Amino acid sequence: MKTKKEKVLKLLSSGNNVTWQKIRDKVDLTSPRAMIDTLRNEGHCIYTNKVNGKTAYRLGEPSKGVIAAGLRSILGSDYSYESRDSEFVR
């Protein structure tokens, strides 16, 4: 038997927007947002969209900007690469 988390991931894996209400009804969740937050904290890239005034979620690939922000958050911005010297500088 699939867990509720697995069911939500399966719904999102279609690549289409899945409304808050559809997740709530199909997976019997009181708070789809809490499940989405849990999945995001586990590393899933889930985008929030407004579709006809309703909240919808979509599983996607992180953009370069999201990856860069994550790396800055972890590594900080103390290091940069200068191509002319081919060395890291601090």
What residue spans define the domains of the chain? 4-89
Quote the mean pLDDT of the chain. 85
pLDDT value at residue 75 = 80
**pLDDT of res. 82:** 56
Whole-number pLDDT of residue 22: 93
Burial of 44 (0-12, 13-18, 19+ CB in 10 A): middle
CATH code at 4-89: 1.10.10
pTM of the model: 0.71
**Phi-psi group of 56: left, alpha or beta (phi > 0 → left; psi -120 to 50 → alpha; rest → beta):** beta
pLDDT at 87 over 90: no
Q: Is the confidence at residue 79, as pLDDT, over 80?
A: no
pLDDT of residue 45 exceeding 70: yes
